[in-house]
Amino acid sequence: MRITSYQKLILALVISVIVAGCFGYIFWWFFSTVVNARTSLENLRSKISAQEEDKISIRKEGRLLEEKKEDIDRIRNFLVEREQPVGFIESLEDLARKTKNTIVMDLDEKQSSIGKNLVFRLTVEGKEESVLKYLELLELLPYQIYLTEVSFQKLPGARGGVTSRIIISIQVRTK
């Protein structure tokens, strides 16, 4: 069987189309691989850039914390330790002693367990001037204190010099 020149031409064209298709597919595959690699590289560069910015920001924040450490410590002194409120309680008792009042103090454990505050109920008895002085000095204590309830009572008759009572509910911020 003899192959005519026409058949040779067709065969050559078919082989050429197949080879051209293979080369085209190979070119497309390489091209898409390069595009994907370039996209991945850009993503990595942007992630590296973001991490470098985060690193710079963290360093700045660290320096700021070190610069402001004294201020932060001073602010922490305004807060009472939840587990050890002894210093705060002693300051309340000391105020009562200085103003010549008697004080009864209760901790409201139910409300204190809910938030970030310790809740106390204070009953201060003494002369009217000294009870009011206690209230003034209470506001000047170096703690973050919220007065939530204040009830002032004048007592009938002078029992040992006691003429007034003030009942105060306070919340003090804890660490």
Report pLDDT digits (tens) over 44-69.
999 999 999 999 999 999 888 888 88
Within 8 A by CB and 6+ apart from 18, the residues are none
Helix, strand, or coil (residue 167): strand
At 53, the amino acid letter reads E
Structural domain boundaries of the chain? 1-67, 86-173
pLDDT in tens, 116-155: 888 889 999 888 888 889 888 888 888 888 888 888 888 8
CATH architecture of the region 86-173: 2-Layer Sandwich (3.30)
Decide: pTM greater than 0.85: no
